[in-house]
Amino acid sequence: MAILSLVLLLLAHIITTSFSLQIHFYSKSCPRAEIIVKQVVQKHFQQDPSVPSGLLRLQFHDCFVRGCDGSILLDSDGHNVAEKNAPPNLTLRTFDVIDDIKAELEKECRGVVSCADILALATRDGVKLSGGAAYALPTGRRDGVVSNVADVHLPSPMISVAEAVAAFLSINLDIVDLTTLLGAHSIGLCHCGFFMDRLYNHKGTGLPDPSIDPTLLTTLLKKCPPHAVTLQNITQDSSVFMNQATTTPFLLDGSSFYHGVLNGMAVLQLDQELAFTDLTNKLAARFVNSPKLFRKQFSKSMVKLGNVGVLTGEEGEVRLNCRRVNSATSSNSSTKV
């Protein structure tokens, strides 16, 4: 019995190892896959420098719900409302970038490269184009066949650091990853609806958040007047640059972002809260003084994020179209297969 148990454990280890993610997973099955991804992302970036921030947010919202299985890319159909239609996801974009990459890859090697890998690779290339490091990214993810609006439980930008840490720990990321990945907010835009409470009714006081820099507060009040902006109609409201402490809002610049955090210049409540807890404050200060350290840790944390809940081996499928599953019957499944 003991020998049988040992054999079963070894077999389980072999199977798990065989199906793990690998660097250059497509080197034989689709050798130009990563080149094609990079070319398409670069083309979109040249037309719109905010593409990297859109890709970063898209990957985060994918990986935080059911793992990094590309479920955020699926469209709703007549029988199911998909993740992308949940209120926190209504402002997601760059779906067109993923569609374009998929179309090119299907011409090159039909049915080989998963949409989950496309999203992870495109995000990596976006990070590089916006000034980050070109980190080595393991691939081999498979696509999920379930996308349900009821599964979307994302951490709000209005929660405390402690609540955010708990949310990150639930997907095996820690406080260092949290602090670092919030540095993605050094690029791109943010809709006013995500921080209106800070401007007009901080913690139910009917007053602005006292931690906001006065000059920044004046700017934000002008950009975001007290009209009926809610998370339900957020796609119709104004937006501001996420990093108010820089003149280069499309450059992944941890130094300026964390400098802003430490000086009351953060736009989002959660970002600003990093200044008020001991470890996150110290990490922010280190990133201000060492841009190289930030880029290195950002790469590590992005790889960790990309490993969350992945499907490999025979799990899931490789979608032919990132917006729908290959079989209509699969979309009605309630389990991850």
Which CATH number characterizes residue 285's domain? Answer: 1.10.420.10
Same domain, 219 and 263: yes
pLDDT of residue 160: 94
pLDDT of residue 336: 37
Same domain, 65 and 171: no
Q: What is the widest separation between alpha-carbon atoms in the chain?
A: 73
Q: Assess if residue 200 is contained within a domain.
A: yes
Same domain, 111 and 182: no
Tokens for 16, please give them.
Answer: 């798990």
Q: Assess if residue 9 is contained within a domain.
A: no
Q: How many CA atoms lie within 13 A of 332 on its CB side?
A: 5
Tally the domains of the chain.
2
Q: Assess if residue 111 is contained within a domain.
A: yes
Query: For residues 58 and 70, is the Cβ–Cβ distance under 8 A?
Result: no
Task: Report the alpha-carbon distance of residue 238 to residue 236 in Å, rounded.
Answer: 7
Q: Assess if residue 3 is contained within a domain.
A: no
Q: How far is the CA of 226 from the CAs of 127, 193, 204, 276, in angstroms? A: 34, 10, 15, 27
| Angle between helix 51-63 and 115-129 (nearest 10) | 140
Q: Assess if residue 249 is contained within a domain.
A: yes
For the annotated catalytic residues, the residue numbers are: 61
DSSP, res 330: G
**Consecutive 10-residue averages of pLDDT for the chain (337 residues):** 38 44 97 98 97 98 97 94 95 97 98 98 98 96 97 93 97 97 96 92 93 95 77 66 93 96 96 96 97 97 97 96 80 37
Residue with tokens 């002008």: 222
pLDDT of residue 78: 84
Q: One-letter amino acid identity for 43?
A: K
Same domain, 147 and 191: no
Question: How many Cβ atoms are within 10 Å of 224's Cβ, its own excluded?
Answer: 24
Question: How many Cβ atoms are within 10 Å of 310's Cβ, its own excluded?
Answer: 25
Q: Assess if residue 7 is contained within a domain.
A: no
Tokens for 319, please give them.
Answer: 């979608």
Same domain, 173 and 140: no
Tokens for 263, please give them.
Answer: 């000086």
Same domain, 288 and 176: yes
Instruction: Provide the CA 327 distance to its chain's centre, in angstroms.
Output: 27
- What's the distance, Cα to Cα, between the start and end of the chain in Å? 31
Task: Report the alpha-carbon distance of residue 160 to residue 270 in Å, rounded.
Answer: 6
Find, among 300, 307, 324, 322, the residue nearest to 127 by Cα: 300
Same domain, 216 and 172: yes
CATH of the domain at 99: 1.10.520.10
Tokens for 261, please give them.
Answer: 């955090």
Q: Assess if residue 284 is contained within a domain.
A: yes
Query: For residues 268 and 165, is the Cβ–Cβ distance under 8 A?
Result: no
Q: Which helix (H) or strand (E) holds 306?
A: helix 291-306
Same domain, 299 and 309: no
pLDDT of residue 328: 52
Same domain, 209 and 291: yes
Same domain, 172 and 257: yes
Same domain, 109 and 207: no
Q: Which domain holds residue 60?
A: 22-154+305-332
Handedness of CA 209, 213, 214, 215 (dihedral sign): negative
pTM, 2 dp: 0.89
Same domain, 193 and 114: no
